[in-house]
Structures are given as structure tokens and as C-alpha cells.
Amino acid sequence: MNRVKKLVGGILAITLCVSVSAQTKLPPGWQSSYVKITPKGELAYYPDKQGNTIPDFSRVGYHHGDKSIPEYPVTKTVYPVEKGDSRQRIQDAIDEVSRMQPDKDGHRGTVLLKRGVYHVHGTIHINASGVILTGEGDNVNETRLLAIGKQRFSLIEVSGNGRMEEVSGTRVKITDAFVPVGTHTFQVSSAANFKVGDRIIVYRPGTENWIHDIKMDQIVERQGTRQWTAREYNLSFEREIVKVEGNRIYIDNPVVMQMEEKYGGGEVFKYTFDGRISEVGVTNMCLESEFEHYEDNEHGWIGVQFDKVENCWARNLTCRYFGYSAVSCERNAKNVTVTDCRCLETKSLITGGLRYSFNNWGQQNLFMNCQSTEGRHDYVTGARVCGPNVFYNCTASQTYADIGPHHRWAVGTLYDNVITDGEINVQDRGKMGSGHGWAGVTQVLWNCRVKRAAVQSPWTSGYNYNFGMKGEKYPGVFIDRPDGVWEGQNEKNVFPRSLYIAQLMARHKNMDLRILTK
């Protein structure tokens, strides 16, 4: 509880400072018709005619935002090799700590890389829970890891093993004819075998009639175009049961995509993921890559890569000259916090598939207080990404493309106070790429600042939203698609300033949200 109070108290202090300084000469605040702070200081949600509400995005990142990232004493200290490759020395220290027994919090040990330059040829692997790799600072004259060699590789890879497994005999049908976005509850055919604390998959099947109704079997053909097929769009949302009442199940994180009987409804089943690791952090370092020229495609590719993990973090990293991204969360990365990280001066071709500065394929991940320069898709999600996920208080400059869901139906992302000198787009990308099609649904932009933005909603199965954006609205690449929900464009005084912060505060007791509107 003390960690929770510390986390929320720190957020509140920051919010108060921003609010007081920013509101001295501003007009009365503007609030959305979908979510607002009431006179009683409560965060209220207002459903549309189908019952959909804006989801609660606050249960993302390390331990769903209910614990602060921990600090532990140093277990093992490493110094750079005077001449040659330091990779094996670092790997040996990590492997030694990985063999230690974890404490009650799951921590095995902390490896400290002392100040200096570490030449690293190949990937440093962290494959055990409870290992922290930290340096003495992220400036070039502090702890600096330099990726060397003429091939693409991740400098640091944090990854467990195995895969998600369905628990046999646990699958049941969701019996509600329609489950709206934003809800935390639904009826199932039988909840007899479920209990509080069970980890479940909320499964939304892909069906041929759904693909047809969103017109993704009708993408205009060009060389390499692939029409969407139903079997590729079975979506698995990881959740935990918080209450069971009869055959009604309550889940920790909200539904972020409509489930409708006419499109196959939904199902629930228990799962295991025994090889997934947790409580791993990478912090306080400068990560760089050698390169030969501005468009060099054969050198260090990713600063830190997470996969098959949960409750992990990357913090206070300066990443320079990589070809693809500073931090990339892959498909099985869950509840990762990436905070106070920078992706600077990317070096690779300026073309498709490259320069994804902060990249997310996982779910319930938080990217916060990050900075990017010279990227293409600076804050981006991939295909069939199952939210919620959040990009909060991030900036991008000298950008070569757009921010947002990139292709093939990402679900449930909040872009909150994202500032760019380029674009944020949520749209049908149609024949672009190899048939990118609808980039996503339940994509929410909140109080962002852009050069321009296109926000469209798909033909069916939900909406995309843009609240309080400062910048130009444009219709998108294909102008005959349905418009998204737009409110408060170019309003000067959007309340709450941050939807994510307001939602996080609302989950904790004795937090009067009226403080955000004063």
C-alpha cells in the first residue's frame, strides 16, 4: 500500500504543478461528453447508444500501475573490458545472478555496470526472473554499451520460454448477445469451474462475415496484397477474474472490442504460461550502435527487446543510432513499463518496416515520458494487438511517418498527451503495405498535439476517438471511410489534462479528481 500511495502521490504532485502553472490565464475547462469529472470529483463515463464506454486504461504497465518500480541493492559489479568485447563478461554476471534463489518479491539480484564504454558484439540475454541490469547513468560518459558488428541484432534481449497453453476442459461460451466496450463483466454458460484469481483468455473469434462486413476481403489488389482471412483474426485478451456471481464473471481489465453474437460472440478459458519470466529491469544506461552511414541497415537493431515476460520494465535509457527501435515489446510481453527512455538519431533506410522507435505487439503495456527523433513510426502497434495499451506523455520530432496503430486491427490503445511535429493517424490503410487494411479499433487520442491527424472508425465493431487534439484534421488516405468520433479539437483547456492519470487516480481511495479541474 505504501508503494501505491507513493506512486499516486508522485503523479498527483506532478499533475498539480502542471495544472497550477497552466491554468493561471486559461478559460474554463472543456470536458468530453463521453468521460468527465463530476462536481463530486468522480470520473464518470457516458455510454453511446450501444452501451459502449471509453475503457479504463489505467491497469497497464508494471503490476497494473499498483506498484512503483522497485530499487534493490547491487549484487554483482561489472567493469568494462579494457580492450575487446565485453559481452561475455556481462553475460557471465547475469548468468551468475540468474542462478541465485529469488527473495519474497521475486528478486534474485542486481548487476551493476560501472561507468565506462562496453563494446558488445552480439546479444546480451536475460532469461530468468528477478534479474536487474543497471548502469551508473544514461549519458555517453556514464555507462555506455556500444553494439558492434555488421549484422542486425538486439543489444539486450529479455525473454522467457514456452508458450501460452489453454487449460483443457475450461472453455465456456459468453452468453450475452452483445458485450460492449468498456465493461468489466459478462455472463457465461457456466462459471462453476472459475474462481477469483484465475487467469483467463477472453477470446473473440474471427469470422468470415465479420471480415466481409469490415470489407477486408475486398482490399484493392496490387502486387503483394493479401486479403484478410477469418482464422488470422482470432483475438486472445489476457485477463484475471476479480469476482464471480452465479454465471457472471468480472474481470480486472475492460473489454476493448465489442463481442457480438452475429460475429461469433466470445468465449472464456483458463490458460497457463509457465515459461514466462517477471521482475526484470533494464535501467540507467546509454545504448548505442556503430554504423557506417545514415541509411546503414546492417548494425545494432533494437536497444532492448522484451518477449514472454510480465511485470518488467525499462527505465532511463538513452538509445542512439539503432536501426529499428529503442524498446520493442513483442507479442507475449505483458505489463511492461517503458519510462523515461529516448530513441535518438535512428540510422537505417527511411522506408517501410524500419524506424519503429517504441514498438508494441503485447498487451497491458505502458510507454511513458519517452522521446524520439528521426523515427518513422515513433509510437506504434503491430497487427492484432490486444489491449489495453498506453502511450502517455511522449514526444516525437523530425519524424518521417505517422504515429498510431500501423496495420491489421490493433485493439484498445490510448495515445495520451503525445506531441509530434508529424501526424497521428487511425485509419483504413487499405492496399498500403501488403494489405494493411483497418489499423485498429478503440483507439483513443486524448489531448495530443500534432501537425495533422486522420481518425476514422471501421464499418462495424466499434469506434475510434479523438478528444481535445490540437492540430489540423484531414480525411485520411481513403476519404470515403466513416469518420471517427471527434470532440474538442483545438480546445485550449482540456480536462482532465490526462485521461490515463485521471483513471489511475480514480482507482485509488480518497482521490478527489476535482483537483484536476481547478
Q: What element of type H or E holds 119?
A: strand 116-120
Average pLDDT over residues 445-470: 98
Report d(CA 484, CA 473) in Å as an integer.
11
Quick one: which H or E segment has residue 500? Answer: helix 499-506
Q: What is the mean pLDDT of residues 328-355?
A: 96
Closest CA to 115 of 133, 135, 88: 135
Query: First and final CA of the chain: distance in angstroms?
Result: 28
Q: Which of 442, 450, 438, 436 is nearest to 403 (CA)?
A: 450
Three-class SS state of 2? helix
Within 10 Å of residue 302's Cβ, how many Cβ atoms? 27
Q: Above 50 in pLDDT, residue 494?
A: yes
Q: Report the C-alpha gap between 336 and 368 in whole angstroms.
A: 11
How far from 28 is each of 119, 469, 494, 503, 518, CA to CA, in Å? 55, 17, 9, 21, 9
477 pLDDT higher than 50: yes
Span 461-483, average pLDDT: 95
Report residue 27's pLDDT band, with 50, 70 and 90 as the boundaries.
Answer: low
231 touches 276 (CB < 8 A): no
User: For position 211, what pLDDT does the model report?
Assistant: 97
Q: What is the DSSP letter of 506?
A: H
Residues linked to residue 37 through DSSP beta bridges, in sequence order: 43
416 close to 500: Cβ distance less than 8 angstroms: yes
Residue 302, phi then psi, degrees to nearest 5? -130, 135
Going by C-alpha positions, the residue among 48, 55, 384 that lies closest to residue 204 is 384
Whether residue 15 has pLDDT greater than 90 = no
Give the residue among 98, 104, 95, 70 at the shortest CA–CA distance from 312.
70
| Pairing label, strands 248-251, 185-187 | antiparallel
CA 5 – CA 517 distance, rounded (Å): 21
Q: Mind listing the domains of the chain with CATH numbers?
A: 62-160+283-344+353-500 (2.160.20.10), 165-272 (2.40.30)
Angle at 392 between CA 40 and CA 394, to 5 degrees: 140
Render pLDDT for 233-276 as a digit per residue (tens, 0 to 9).
999 999 999 999 999 999 999 999 999 999 999 999 999 999 99
Give the H/E segment covering residue 7.
helix 2-23
Residue 353 DSSP label: T
By percentage, how much of the chain surpasses pLDDT 70?
93
Question: What's the confidence (pLDDT) of residue 449?
Answer: 98
Does residue 19 carry a pLDDT above 90?
A: no
Q: Is the pLDDT of residue 469 over 90?
A: yes
Specify whether the CB–CB gap between 132 and 72 falls below 8 A. yes
Angle 2-23/499-506 helices, nearest 10 degrees?
Answer: 140
What is the CB-side half-sphere exposure of residue 512 using CA atoms within 13 A? 6
Determine the average pLDDT of the residues in 432-438: 89
Q: What is the mean pLDDT of the chain?
A: 93
Instruction: In whole angstroms, give the CA distance from residue 378 to residue 199.
Output: 32
> Which has the higher per-residue pLDDT, 18 or 77?
77
Task: State the Cα–Cα distance between residues 327 and 282, nearest whole angstrom.
Answer: 11
Q: Please provide the DSSP assignment of 184-242 as one string.
A: -EEEBS--TT--TT-EEEEEE---HHHHHHTTTT-PPP-TT-----GGGG-EEEEEEEE
Residue range 18-28: average pLDDT?
Answer: 45
In angstroms, the Cα distances linking 221 to 215, 216, 415, 429, 431 are 13, 11, 31, 13, 7
pLDDT-based confidence at 58, cuts 50/70/90? very high
Question: What size, in residues, is the chain?
Answer: 518
Mind listing the pLDDT tens digit for each residue in 146-180? 999 999 999 999 999 999 999 999 999 999 999 99
Nearest to 335 by CA among 279, 401, 381: 279
CB 439 within 8 A of CB 415: no
C-alpha cell at 247: 454465471
Residue 372 pLDDT exceeds 60: yes
Q: Are 169 and 175 in contact (CB under 8 A)?
A: no
pLDDT digits (tens, 9 = 90+) for 98-152: 999 999 999 999 999 999 999 999 999 999 999 999 999 999 999 999 999 999 9
List 144's β-bridge partners, or say none.
Answer: 117, 286
